[in-house]
Amino acid sequence: MSTGIRLVTPEVWSGQVFDGRWRKAASTISVLEPATGEVLGIVGASEVTALDAIAERALAAQRGWAATPAEERAAIMRHAADLLDRERGEIINLIMRETGGVRGKAETELNGTIGELIHSAALLIAPEGQVLAHPDPSKLSIARRVPLGLVGVITPWNFPMLLAMRSVAPALALGNAVLLKPDPQTSMVGGALLARLFEEAGVPAGVFSVLNGGADIGEGLIALPAVRLVTFTGSTAVGRRVGELASRNLKKVALELGGKSPFIVLDDADLEAAASAGAWGSFLHQGQICMASGRHIVHRKVVDDYLDILTRKAEQLKVGDPFRTEGVAIGPIINSKQLARVDEIVHSSVAAGARLLTGGVSQGPFYRPTVLAGVNPQVPAYHLEIFGPVAPVVVAEDEEDAIRIANDTEYGLSSAVQTGALERGLRVAARINAGMVHINDQTISDLPGIPFGGMGQSGNGSRFGSTTNWEEFTQWRWMTAGATPARYPF
């Protein structure tokens, strides 16, 4: 294993693709910095015609990797975590520039990525099987977890390193080979950097590959018969397409999709604390998070005061380039298409009857944090996942109405309840249709050791996290063994 190396090495990955070794690409993808529009770096573009060969090499490498002692695989995961930690300053800067996130977001993403590696190493201390009862006492009956073989991972641009690693690390640790397809907008920190990481950490050539490109590469990856599991994080619309394509070859699919996470504020809540949590939940990373607080559902008795506080907080947030300007809380929207979509949802919602209390304007790639009051089911911001720094506020008549509104969505990813009484929060939380509920906190939270995932159209019941990774990234094999050959009547 190498020491004293650098991971952030554009001179290594520029114009290159990685399938266990770096190869010069026939064409390239320019990665733009959202805050400036300048070319941040260049990666090699993968070719659909090369996917079969890449998968074949990966499967050949996987057999040896799965036979590698668990202690060695765990040591490589821990070494990868150490390598990231040693180079944290440069990596955080690259995350900020490539995703447009503020420094705190970048630090959180890197820390979470390191946590995924450490938790994946710890998976290998768990029992990998069971001894089962058998009616013939002379036979040994064993159920054992074995690798799936080849895993495809398709990731988005908003947390490209973390959302890749939560699948890549456990898949590798448990003996699989991985083909990673990052979003082309973040294919350096979400792809090339991870290739450098595992190359230097000691993952054997071919066990980990990166596929750069658009939908044609993603669909080509899903169609590979050798890929037995596809994990996808992204929109619900694309998730349906992923599931459709994967079903043709009877693959496992783990889908973590969109959200419209309800943020309930009851009449006994601490409104300053609630508005602080609500602002964080809607405005963090410009609202470009699947768990963002999509609707603030506020009890009528306190809605006016809550709106005043939330609006004040939104107006105090500094907007700009977080890499070059100190104190910025709101960075750039990822691209002009998404910026236009956010603005369209805001202004069509105002046209439908919502009231714009603050924000609703952009300057270059930056969109002011926005508060919409009077949001109801006839307003687009009520139903649509905005993926921008917008806080739609809905009035609830009472606790029962707040629960009804919270569940009035096709999504079911995350949720939160603000209340002065814990028992009340527990009662309300138990009735919200969501995979995650936070009492007296906001909706955005993720840790390596939790069963992360949603209900409804937010996913297909799969879960990411060290509590569930054995189930997701391995499969059962039953084996019996007898000391003497069995004999039958014919």
pTM here?
0.96
- Predicted pLDDT of residue 44: 98
The residues carrying an active-site annotation are 256
CA distance 473 to 57: 20
CB 48 within 8 A of CB 55: no
Question: Is 424 exposed, middle or buried (CB count within 10 Å of its CB: 0-12, 13-18, 19+)?
Answer: middle
CA distance 82 to 118: 9
- Predicted pLDDT of residue 214: 97
DSSP 319: B
Extract the runs of DSSP E, i.e. beta strands, from 148-251. 150-154, 177-181, 208-210, 227-233
CB 392 within 8 A of CB 383: no
- Predicted pLDDT of residue 3: 53
- Predicted pLDDT of residue 1: 42
pLDDT in single tens digits along all 490 residues of the chain: 445 679 999 999 999 999 999 999 999 999 999 999 999 999 999 999 999 999 999 999 999 999 999 999 999 999 999 999 999 999 999 999 999 999 999 999 999 999 999 999 999 999 999 999 999 999 999 999 999 999 999 999 999 999 999 999 999 999 999 999 999 999 999 999 999 999 999 999 999 999 999 999 999 999 999 999 999 999 999 999 999 999 999 999 999 999 999 999 999 999 999 999 999 999 999 999 999 999 999 999 999 999 999 999 999 999 999 999 999 999 999 999 999 999 999 999 999 999 999 999 999 999 999 999 999 999 999 999 999 999 999 999 999 999 999 999 999 999 999 999 999 999 999 999 999 999 999 999 999 999 999 999 999 988 999 999 999 999 999 999 999 999 999 9
What strand order describes the sheet that includes 390-396? Answer: 355-358, 370-373, 390-396, 293-299, 261-265, 416-418, 438-439
What domains lie within the chain, and their CATH numbers? 10-257+459-478 (3.40.605.10), 261-439 (3.40.309.10)
Both structure tokens of 482: 């007898």
- Predicted pLDDT of residue 4: 62
CB 359 within 8 A of CB 390: yes
- Predicted pLDDT of residue 5: 76
